[in-house]
Chain A
């Protein structure tokens, strides 16, 4: 070992061999990570799953006060044709008091149409409230029966273990009454 080290290196206890060990181990680690990535990434959503990424909905037949569920990327999307009272209720809330503060205006394109992904942000159940007769929770929106989360008429979390509001999917109006989600 001594002949591979200069006198100065020998005094500090470091040798070329130490450097070679580190360099070899480092290259090994980088190489392993490079090989591991394709294996790990193969479990991510595949091209044909990603290709199913948009859904077109005709809002025409949905009456005021009616709620409709459509499927987008395998998940339910809640479309709520809100009444004036429901819109008022959603807008009158003190935003600072919310667990996940967000104004109603930031969650809709037009106030009459609330479009949210119907998957509870706690552990992924589908909240109740889409059908007549189902519980809508304490705030007139949706109620998740799994662990008791209450959402308001803007789909915002108000009470219960869910940390976030029901997410708004990316969507746009392509006609007067046609939306494309995704």
Chain B
């Protein structure tokens, strides 16, 4: 593909001293050849990056109006909603942006799971992605504490108390996290500091994630490597255009929620100021944590419950070594496809379980779903790699489109070369 070229003397002057333009060209420009068969499922990476930018911009503006003190935090948020110019808009974008960030990232992850994007040589790319997920969870959790409503306070208390399950050091760790004997002003202050810091840590890991991506380029729906330039098209303008279209659709849905259902994904209890002496009758985390919360509660032992919850994410780190099938794409794995759908259903079921009290049928369902989650990763995937007989793979990315033509038909690659 084309190297970076320009006629601008200014750009040439900068480029000679610091090759920033050719770097961009190779990262997101015409100099980055991507597989030509990427579907709309490949939109969600850039969409996640876009959402991160929205969150940082609205977050910085909100920080200019917010007061991190137990006596003022709740009122300062109400002031943002009522008095600050467009404060309601900033807050609703930021609040719902968190949910949309998770929607986008979860779709991005399930796409990776289905098409085997975590497999060699993209293991580090996948692992960096899981690191980003963990950082996002920490950021979202600490951000939810800042409005200092009832759910903020009790969510913070329950989640920080998870660390008290650590043998011997548990109590000391929790006191250290709180900076006191309960969630209080020191806790709110440090959460605010960290909530402001973490997004920039995420940006740094996103840079690493993209760096790792460009080493081998995007995976694709067929899961086979591009055989040459005829299987690729330049990222710009083809995928910049495709990503922009997806971004437009995303923004329509995002705007609809911000303007018409801004509190749909929140809890009314968080509009009650925090009361350290009264726990709300029904504590639930934000929807994006519900499957993990369900796993925590499925196990009746405190320490084992906490281990299982962290284990449900830890298992993703070793996923590239659990799934030993040499075929990447689920399209060519008839049995894997069935289990993939079951896993997706399982996670949704866990979500519903997490939203309901852990009693009776919900508790049993949660235990079965938790068991299935781990069974999928620790038993089903390793066994499938051995026993599943995949369908024959196409010889190239062009072949399925050209019906046996493509490179085999000896079509000259020259017209493609120009692209």
Tell me if B328 counts as interface (CB < 8 A to partner A).
no
Tell me if A46 and B179 are in contact (CB < 8 A). yes
Near A by CB (< 8 A), chain B positions 130-189 give: 154, 157-158, 160-162, 164, 175-182, 184, 186
Closest beta carbon of chain A to B103's beta carbon, Å: 27
Please tell me which one of the listed residues A40, A43, A146, A161 contacts residue B283 in the complex, with CB atoms under 8 A apart. Answer: A146
Tell me if B158 and A123 are in contact (CB < 8 A). yes
Tell me if B12 counts as interface (CB < 8 A to partner A).
no
A74-B276, A122-B302, A147-B358 known; A43 vs B179 contact (CB < 8 Å) = yes
Near B by CB (< 8 A), chain A positions 61-108 give: 69, 71, 73-76
Tell me if A74 and B282 are in contact (CB < 8 A). no
Near B by CB (< 8 A), chain A positions 1-52 give: 40, 43-46, 49
Tell me if B277 and A73 are in contact (CB < 8 A). no
Tell me if A74 and B283 are in contact (CB < 8 A). no
Tell me if A123 and B276 are in contact (CB < 8 A). no
Q: Which of A73, A123, A160 has the most CB of B within 10 A?
A: A123
Contacts of A124 in B (CB 8 A): 157-158, 160-161, 164, 182
Near B by CB (< 8 A), chain A positions 144-182 give: 144-148, 160-163
Interface residues as binary, B277-295 with A (CB distance below 8 Å gives 1, 0 otherwise): 1110111000000000000
Closest beta carbon of chain B to A29's beta carbon, Å: 21
A44-B175, A123-B161 known; A49 vs B180 contact (CB < 8 Å) = yes
Closest beta carbon of chain A to B141's beta carbon, Å: 14
Closest beta carbon of chain A to B8's beta carbon, Å: 48
Interface residues as binary, B286-312 with A (CB distance below 8 Å gives 1, 0 otherwise): 000000000001001111010000000
A65 to B297, CA, bound (A): 34
Tell me if B190 counts as interface (CB < 8 A to partner A).
yes
Contacts of B186 in A (CB 8 A): 45-46, 49
A45 to B172, CA, bound (A): 11
Contacts of A49 in B (CB 8 A): 179-181, 184, 186
Tell me if B83 counts as interface (CB < 8 A to partner A).
no
Please tell me which one of the listed residues B154, B176, B184, B301 contacts residue A74 in the complex, with CB atoms under 8 A apart. Answer: B184
User: In this complex, what residue of B is CB-closest to A71?
Assistant: B277
Tell me if B268 counts as interface (CB < 8 A to partner A).
no
Tell me if A126 counts as interface (CB < 8 A to partner B).
yes
Please tell me which one of the listed residues A44, A126, A162 contacts residue B176 in the complex, with CB atoms under 8 A apart. Answer: A44
Tell me if B357 counts as interface (CB < 8 A to partner A).
yes
User: In this complex, what residue of B is CB-closest to A163?
Assistant: B302
Tell me if B162 and A123 are in contact (CB < 8 A). yes
A122 to B357, CA, bound (A): 15
Please tell me which one of the listed residues B164, B180, B277, B279 contacts residue A146 in the complex, with CB atoms under 8 A apart. Answer: B279
Tell me if B388 counts as interface (CB < 8 A to partner A).
no
Closest beta carbon of chain B to A131's beta carbon, Å: 10
A67 to B294, CA, bound (A): 33
Contacts of A148 in B (CB 8 A): 357-359
A123 to B157, CA, bound (A): 7
Contacts of B278 in A (CB 8 A): 126
User: In this complex, what residue of B is CB-closest to A72?
Assistant: B181
A129 to B154, CA, bound (A): 18
A74 to B276, CA, bound (A): 7
Q: Which of B177, B190, B277, B305 has the most CB of A within 10 A?
A: B277
Tell me if A43 and B276 are in contact (CB < 8 A). no
A76 to B177, CA, bound (A): 19
Tell me if A45 and B180 are in contact (CB < 8 A). yes
Tell me if A57 counts as interface (CB < 8 A to partner B).
no
Tell me if A45 and B276 are in contact (CB < 8 A). no
Tell me if B305 and A45 are in contact (CB < 8 A). no
Please tell me which one of the listed residues B279, B297, B357 contacts residue A126 in the complex, with CB atoms under 8 A apart. Answer: B279
Interface residues as binary, B352-380 with A (CB distance below 8 Å gives 1, 0 otherwise): 00000111000000000000000000000
A163 to B304, CA, bound (A): 12
Closest beta carbon of chain A to B179's beta carbon, Å: 6
Closest beta carbon of chain A to B142's beta carbon, Å: 14
Tell me if B358 and A74 are in contact (CB < 8 A). no
Contacts of B180 in A (CB 8 A): 45, 49, 73-74
A126 to B186, CA, bound (A): 20
Q: Which of B162, B279, B282, B297 has the most CB of A within 10 A?
A: B279
Q: What would 21 A/B residue contacts be, using CB atoms closer than 8 Å? A: A44-B175, A45-B186, A46-B179, A46-B186, A49-B179, A49-B180, A69-B277, A71-B277, A73-B181, A74-B184, A74-B276, A122-B161, A123-B158, A124-B158, A124-B161, A124-B182, A125-B154, A126-B279, A146-B283, A148-B357, A163-B303
Beyond A45-B186, A125-B158, A145-B281, 8 extra complex contacts between A and B, CB < 8 Å: A71-B276, A74-B276, A124-B160, A126-B278, A126-B279, A146-B279, A160-B300, A162-B302
> Which 8 pairs of residues, A with B, have the shortest CB-CB distance?
A124-B161, A73-B181, A74-B182, A125-B279, A123-B161, A123-B158, A124-B157, A126-B279
